[in-house]
């Protein structure tokens, strides 16, 4: 059945604005944290595992990279994240005590499915998927699952599927922390309450759209862009760069900010806008010095600053301040302006936003 587009111009725009609804639907049945949110027998499996191996492609791979930070920090379990198409073709060392997690909007991506089957062939039995399609092959072939409720996603560039995956992966983090005893019940419940507030926090971020549109007006004239982030916001920088590439055809690269001096700084000129994801965390001071290095070379900064930072707009530094500080969940908030930036830049360039050239929504052949 056709999905109604009105009053939006594109599905991608509609899907960006649907995120508060998609997130609250994804969390609606979660009254308390329990391994059983992931299916029968999850508690026993979570007890047995000693590590995670996350496999995915594209945007889903980036949600896996964020999850690594969360799971290692809160559940204290080592996590490896690998691109599905790489994993399936190398001689990895199987660990039957690893939980294999496949993340996929469609549940049908050929490389991710093949990676799952490859892992099972190597003797992995603990498998879990975070997936947006309950009837998909991936859900059928995994022992455990969490179904996100983003609803049908039509725009080729994934938006609401990504943020709902992150919500599902945060639940997984908390369920693992509970099983392993790394957090007490009260702390776990506090984290769940924070997650429950995410839909309204995203709603507040969407209200920043007019400011993002003014950034996009400069981006339509650019040929390249650099995205910087640190820690769990490095994957958000990667996702921002991917969105821009996919739909506006502007060459974009993301780097962990600390790597700037090891290469990309050579590219910085006044023709290279630098987008900085700058939450108020332990690495903020280091990020500020990275920003000065960019300014010193004439680079123009576009900073997504946390509510509590004192970074201000200045010549060559454009700041959009996030409405509130959100700690560990801030990747879910920071990605939203980057989705809007890609969308409005593409709109300005007149590209086919929902069906970018050469790309498919679901890649079911290799």
Is the Cβ–Cβ distance between 46 and 35 less than 8 Å? yes
Residue 178 or residue 345: which is nearer to ligand G6P going by CB?
A: 345
Residue 124 or residue 243: which is nearer to ligand G6P going by CB?
A: 243
In the complex, the smallest distance separating the C-beta of residue 57 from ligand G6P, rounded to whole angstroms, is 4
Structure tokens of 123?
A: 């003797």
Euclidean distance between CA atoms 256 and 233, whole angstroms? 9
Phi and psi angles of residue 53, each rounded to the nearest 5 degrees, phi first: -125, 110
CA 150 distance to own-chain centroid: 14
Euclidean distance between CA atoms 29 and 6, whole angstroms? 29
Is the Cβ–Cβ distance between 115 and 84 less than 8 Å? yes
Residue 22 or residue 272: which is nearer to ligand G6P going by CB?
A: 22
Euclidean distance between CA atoms 118 and 10, whole angstroms? 38
In the complex, the smallest distance separating the C-beta of residue 70 from ligand G6P, rounded to whole angstroms, is 19
The upper half-sphere exposure of residue 12, i.e. CA atoms within 13 Å in the direction of its Cβ, equals: 27
Residue 109 or residue 164: which is nearer to ligand G6P going by CB?
A: 109
| End-to-end Cα, the chain, rounded Å | 28
Structure tokens of 174?
A: 């908390």
Residues tagged active-site = 361
**Chain contacts with ligand G6P (rule: CB under 6 A):** 57-60, 104-106, 109, 112, 156-158, 359, 361-363
The closest residue (CB) to ligand G6P is 58
Residue 242 or residue 268: which is nearer to ligand G6P going by CB?
A: 242
Residue 87 or residue 302: which is nearer to ligand G6P going by CB?
A: 87
In the complex, the smallest distance separating the C-beta of residue 109 from ligand G6P, rounded to whole angstroms, is 3
In the complex, the smallest distance separating the C-beta of residue 359 from ligand G6P, rounded to whole angstroms, is 5
In the complex, the smallest distance separating the C-beta of residue 14 from ligand G6P, rounded to whole angstroms, is 16
State the CB neighbour count (10 A cutoff) for residue 238. 22
Burial class of residue 320 (count of CB atoms within 10 Å of its CB; 0-12, 13-18, 19+): middle
In the complex, the smallest distance separating the C-beta of residue 192 from ligand G6P, rounded to whole angstroms, is 25
Euclidean distance between CA atoms 177 and 33, whole angstroms? 10
Euclidean distance between CA atoms 272 and 293, whole angstroms? 13
Helices (H), 197-327: 198-206, 209-219, 234-248, 284-296
């Amino acid at each position: 059945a056709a999905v109604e587009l009105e009053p939006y111009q594109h599905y991608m725009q509609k899907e960006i604005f649907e995120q508060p609804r998609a997130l609250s639907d994804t969390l609606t049945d979660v009254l308390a944290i329990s391994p059983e949110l992931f299916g029968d027998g999850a508690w026993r499996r979570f007890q047995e595992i000693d590590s995670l191996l996350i496999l995915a492609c594209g945007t889903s791979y980036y949600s896996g990279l964020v999850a690594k930070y969360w799971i290692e920090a809160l559940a204290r379990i080592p996590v490896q994240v690998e691109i599905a198409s790489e994993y399936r073709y190398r001689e990895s060392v199987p660990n039957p005590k690893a939980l294999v997690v496949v993340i996929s909007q469609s549940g049908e991506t050929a490389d991710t499915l093949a990676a799952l089957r490859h892992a099972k062939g190597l003797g992995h039995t603990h498998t879990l998927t975070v997936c947006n399609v309950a009837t998909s092959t991936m859900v059928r072939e995994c022992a455990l699952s969490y179904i996100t409720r983003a609803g049908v996603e039509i725009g080729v560039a994934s938006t609401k599927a990504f943020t709902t995956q992150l919500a599902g992966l945060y639940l997984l983090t908390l369920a693992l922390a509970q099983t392993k005893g790394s957090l007490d019940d009260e702390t776990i419940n506090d984290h769940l309450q924070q997650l429950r507030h995410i839909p309204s926090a995203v709603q507040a971020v969407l209200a920043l759209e007019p400011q993002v549109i003014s950034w996009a007006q400069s981006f339509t004239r650019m040929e390249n862009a650099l995205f910087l982030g640190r820690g769990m916001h490095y994957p958000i920088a990667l996702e921002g760069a991917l969105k821009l590439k996919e739909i506006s055809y502007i060459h974009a690269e993301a780097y962990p900010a600390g790597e700037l001096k090891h290469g990309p700084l050579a590219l910085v000129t006044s023709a290279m806008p630098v987008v900085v994801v700058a939450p108020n965390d332990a690495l903020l001071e280091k990020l500020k010095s990275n920003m000065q290095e960019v300014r010193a070379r004439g680079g123009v900064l576009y900073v997504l600053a946390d509510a509590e930072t004192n970074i201000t707009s200045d010549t060559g530094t454009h700041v959009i301040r996030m409405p509130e500080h959100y700690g560990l969940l801030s990747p879910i908030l920071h990605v939203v302006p980057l989705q809007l930036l890609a969308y409005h830049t593409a709109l300005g360039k007149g590209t086919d936003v929902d069906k970018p050239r050469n790309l498919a929504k679901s890649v079911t052949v290799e």
